Structures are given as structure tokens and as C-alpha cells.
Structure 1
Amino acid sequence: MKKYGFVASGGGYRSFYTAGVLVWLEKQGIPISHITSTSSGNNIVLDYLLWERDKEELPPILAKTHRLGIGDIAQVLSNFLGLRPSLPPAGTHLFTVDKDSCRKSLLLDDPERRAVLARRLGVMRWDIFATNLTKHRGHYFKINEILSRIDDDSLDGFMDAFLAGITTIPYFKALTIDGEYHIEGGYTDNTPMKTLFTDPEVEEIIAIDFTDYDYHRELEKLYNSQIFTLPFNSIDMHILASDIGLTLPNKRSLSQCLLINKLLKAAGKDSMEIEGRTYHHKPIHILRPKNLESMTVSLKHSSAQKEYFELGRKEAEGVFGGK
């Protein structure tokens, strides 16, 4: 059976779609040998790697989140994202992260979950992509190297990488690692595939394109709304502007990846070395859900997480069901 590389892009609540795809692939026994992730995709991948498939129907944090409703949004923020309100309010960010509380909420204090994670990382590579804002460039954290052993010290280093990868400003405070500011990878590439193309064991790549979104409709809706909804319009416009900046550039990233394959094919080669790295031709399977909303802060669609998860499972079956 072919070995797949998987990209878990960021996207707020849209990442539940990613979870649906991963859960379906796992239950069908389709092997994933290498995962890259950024932003909320990191949460999905970690939960996936903590999943005891023979004992649990769903990954553990996902299962808990599925049982929550609109009245439990504080638990979603605490258990799924590990966030805390910024107290006292600083004006620069809405949330801050207590590393110890976050690690606990992600189940990484549980010895049994640590053992599961160690087993999964023994057969799968995981790279977290973040943006080094100080140096103006993207950075891959190689989690298998960071967690070559799993103990309190190595998990502290992992939490730095994890939190760097989920830090969207101005919602969260930028993370400092070795004196340099890090934020999520979406600012430089929300669909990080570079290490998948350079991994000779990956035969094909699975990616998700969230750019099929009706920005025109959303702008029209906001521009034509009533003045008494001003506070809500302001929040929604801020979320929309952030989403445009983080998501729409993926069209270029995905087209560049497809171009790599075309260049290799035109050159009649299976691989090519560029600046000391060897890139291999790999078929790319791209799922393109339509009009999924990020809703990083907005609560206007409280059932989205469950709907997007089920949609991910359904569309994964549509693409890979015959394989």
C-alpha cells in the first residue's frame, strides 16, 4: 500500500474538517508516514497521534469537543486550544497561554498518552511549521527529533514548537524562542509541503484547500448590514480580514507545488536537487471544501465543528473510497 504525506493546514473551526479526513483515513488503514501542520492543524495532529484506535472511537480531545455546545465554549477554548484570557487586558492580544495548563489540557501529562505518542512517532514523521517573525522566514520544527525521548524536559521544548505554530496575532501573544518572536506558519505558508516533497518515503501527498470561500458575499453582507450591529460587524470584519491574509495566499502555495510536479515531468525526471535539497515528484490529492468558515472568535455557528468533521469524513471517502 502507498505511503502518504498529509498536510494539516490552519483554519480555525475548519480544522475539524481536517480531523474528519484523518479519522476516516485511519479507520480505513490508509498509511500516513509523514505529517506537516500549522496553526489549528497542530491541535488536530496532536490529538490524532494521542488516539488509541483500538480502544476509542475518536481521538480523545475531539471526542470531548464533540459533546460540547454553545454554552460550553469556554471548555472548547480551554481543552482544545489551551487558552486563557489575557489578564489584565493588555490591548495587544486577547489570549495568553500558560504552558503548563496547556500541556495538561492537551493530555500530555498522562503517562499512557505519552506512551501512545511515542509509539506513533516511532512510525510517523511530524513537522510543525511556524514563522520566525524576527528573521522574516518560515521554520520547520522536527517533532521526532524534539521528542526522541518523551519526558518533562523534551515536552517543554515540544510545547514551544507547538505554541509557536498556533500563535495567530493579535488573538494570541507572539511566542519568544531563544530571543526571537515566532507566530503561526500561515503567515508564510498555510499549506506547508516542502518537507513532504523532500521525503523519499512519501509516495503521494494529501492536502486540503480552504480557499474556495465566497469573500465577495461576505463583504457584501457586512457592507450592507445595519448600523446597530456595528460591534458585531467590527469583529466579523476583523476575522474576515485575518482569514483573507492567512488563507487566500494558499492558492499560490498550492499552485507552486503543482508546478514542481510539472517541471519534474517536463524534465523527464523523478527527482531534482535544488539548493542542496532533493525534491521528488509526488501526486497530490487536494480536497476542496466550499465556504467553510474559520470562526476563530465568532460564535455565530456553534454546530460548525460537528458539521465540518462529518463533511471531512464524507469527502475523504469520496476521494479515497475506491483506493
Structure 2
Amino acid sequence: MSKYGLVLEGGGLRSAYTAGILNWFIDHDVHFDFVAGVSSGALLAVPFVTRNRQAIKDLATIHAASKENVGLHPLLKEGNFVGYNYLIDKVVPNQLKLSVDEVRNAPTPFEMGVYDIYASKTFWMRNTEMDDHWKFLQAALTLPIAGRAVKIKGRKYMDAGVNCMIPTKRSIANGCDKHVIITTKPKDFVRKDNHPALQLLLDLIYFKYPILKREFRERTGVFNDEIALAERLEKENNAIFLRPTKNLGIKRFSGDLDQLVHLYELGYQQMETEKERMLDFMKK
């Protein structure tokens, strides 16, 4: 009997596409044996493994489009371009009322990638290990420059996207032989190396961490290898690789509510088109 893994890339506001697909899975009673998420993919995995349909949609649309989430407001209030404190301290526990205990006891095992800056490597945190105040989830979301690294028990952590963007290898490592892989980038997307000015800024901020500085430079190659793996698995009929069929102009940090709702609907409607193929693939 096959074991099915769900792989979720990040992408900031572009993850509204992922949210539409996840809610299609809930509506069609599609379950997985394992879920791996990075960055905003990790965030959406939390309500997905607890089957909280409304929280998935609200996170990816209403709260993503809020002025408190990205831009001048969080910059003035938190000192970060992204309102990570607002999201983790207010939205997740209070407005969405997500429960740490429900996540820990979710029937579907879930891992999120977190980068340990001091060790200069990514570790994978299980849902059963989620801390009471969601601080490791905040770390899993925190992008370099967009936010400050999250300090937990004297160590600093951030988004695992430094060296892993599409965590298919985690699905494989957890014994899955069939995979549904969701990326928020269209097929014609070409990842470029960091602009020299950005790379210089990263080098200055993280000058104490030579491995991390090297990994910033290697991200394009890593991403291309992850895409190649997903495409190969799909060609071998061991994966379904889902990508947006349209570019709606949404960027990692820019997009209004209407755009995000349209992107959410694009993901959902794409699954309606893929319904027969998906349900046939998921037959165990």
C-alpha cells in the first residue's frame, strides 16, 4: 500500500493558491499520511492537519491582505516589514483560534522546516513538538531582512527557505512513495540570483555565519534541483506537481484582497479540473 505525502512550498501572499487547493482536499475528503511545509506552506499546514477550512481561507486572503501584515504599518509598529508578531500573537491564537493541542494531536503527521542560525542548518520540527506560544512557527515564517530572527532559549531561528524551498525530500525521508507537491510559482518562473546589493546586505547582517552566506548564494541551484526532482517524480507517476496556471500579478509581499481571493479561487478551480486525475492518483 502506498504512503502519500503532501509537500508545501512557501511564497508569501502567493500561498493563497495553496490555500485553495488545501480546501479542495478538505471538501473532497482527501487525506495524506504526511505533510511537509516551508515558510507560508508551514503556516497553512497548521489549519490543514486540523481540518480547519475557514482558517485556511482567512489566513491566505483576509489576514494576508491586512495592512498589519505587510508594509509600513508593521514596519512602524514592529520594526519589521512583515507583521510576524501580529500574525503569531494575535491572528493565530485569537482571531483564528487555532489550538496548539489540536495541532500536536492531529491525525496527520506534519513537519515544518526551521533554520538554526547558530548551527547553520535546517531542522524539521514535528507537530507533536509545537511550542505553546507558536514561536517555532514564527521562526519558520521569518524571512531574512523582512523580519528579525526569532530568539528561543538563547538560539536564533528563521525560515528554512535558506536551503530548502520545496521539501519533497522530507516526504521521501518519512517513507512516502507518492507525493502531491504544491509550488506557488508558475511553470515559466525563473529564479534569479540575489541582486548584488541584496547579497551585500545579507553578507553584512550575517557576517558571522560563513555557511549561511554561502547558502544564500546557492539558493537558485537548490530551487532548480527541487523543481527537477518534482518533475521527475511526476514523470515516473509517483507525484502530482501542482503549479498556478495563471500569473495574477501577486508577489511575495504585494497583492490586495481581490487578487488574493482570485488566486485562492484559481487553486480551487484548478483542482476541479484535475479532480479525476487527483482522486485516481490518491487511490490506495
TM-score w.r.t. the length of structure 2 is 0.71
Is the 2:47–2:98 Cα contact (8 Å) retained in structure 1? no
Residue type matched to 1:59 in 2? Q
Q: What's 2:139 paired with?
A: 164
Is the 1:211–1:251 Cα contact (8 Å) retained in structure 2? no
Residue 288 of structure 1 pairs with residue 261 of structure 2? no
Alignment partners' CA distance in 2, 1:60 and 1:89 = 24
Residue in structure 2 matching 1:59, options 54, 68, 81: 54
Alignment of 1:172-183 (within 5 A): 172-183=147-158
Residue type matched to 1:48 in 2? F
Alignment of 1:220-231 (within 5 A): none
Residue type matched to 1:20 in 2? G
What's the offset of the Cα at 1:95? 4.4
Residue in structure 2 matching 1:129, options 99, 113, 123: 113
Residue 306 of structure 1 pairs with residue 279 of structure 2? no
TM-score w.r.t. the length of structure 1 is 0.63
Is the 1:132–1:138 Cα contact (8 Å) retained in structure 2? yes
Q: What stretches of structure 1 of length at least 5 have no aligned partner? A: 53-57, 148-153, 217-243, 266-281
Q: Would the alpha carbon gap of residues 74 and 248 (structure 1) be closer, same or farther in structure 2, given more than 3 Å must change?
A: farther
Aligned residue pairs total 251
Larger radius of gyration: 1
Alignment partners' CA distance in 2, 1:110 and 1:288 = 27
Is the 1:13–1:293 Cα contact (8 Å) retained in structure 2? no
Alignment partners' CA distance in 1, 2:182 and 2:59 = 24
What's the offset of the Cα at 1:136? 2.5
Q: What's 1:206 paired with?
A: 180
Q: Would the alpha carbon gap of residues 113 and 205 (structure 1) be closer, same or farther in structure 2, given more than 3 Å must change?
A: same
- Computed over aligned residues only, the root mean square deviation of the Cα atoms, in angstroms, reads 3.9
What's the offset of the Cα at 1:175? 1.5
Alignment partners' CA distance in 2, 1:48 and 1:189 = 21
Q: Which secondary structure does the structure 2 equivalent of 1:196 belong to?
A: helix
Q: What's 1:251 paired with?
A: 224
Q: Would the alpha carbon gap of residues 135 and 67 (structure 1) be closer, same or farther in structure 2, given more than 3 Å must change?
A: closer
Residue type matched to 2:181 in 1? A
Q: What's 1:230 paired with?
A: none
Residue in structure 2 matching 1:107, options 93, 98, 122: 93
What's the offset of the Cα at 1:45? 1.5
What's the offset of the Cα at 1:174? 1.2
Alignment partners' CA distance in 2, 1:35 and 1:104 = 25
Q: What's 1:73 paired with?
A: 66
Q: Percent of counterpart pairs with the same letter?
A: 18
Q: What stretches of structure 2 of length at least 5 have no aligned partner? A: 192-216
What's the offset of the Cα at 1:315? 1.6
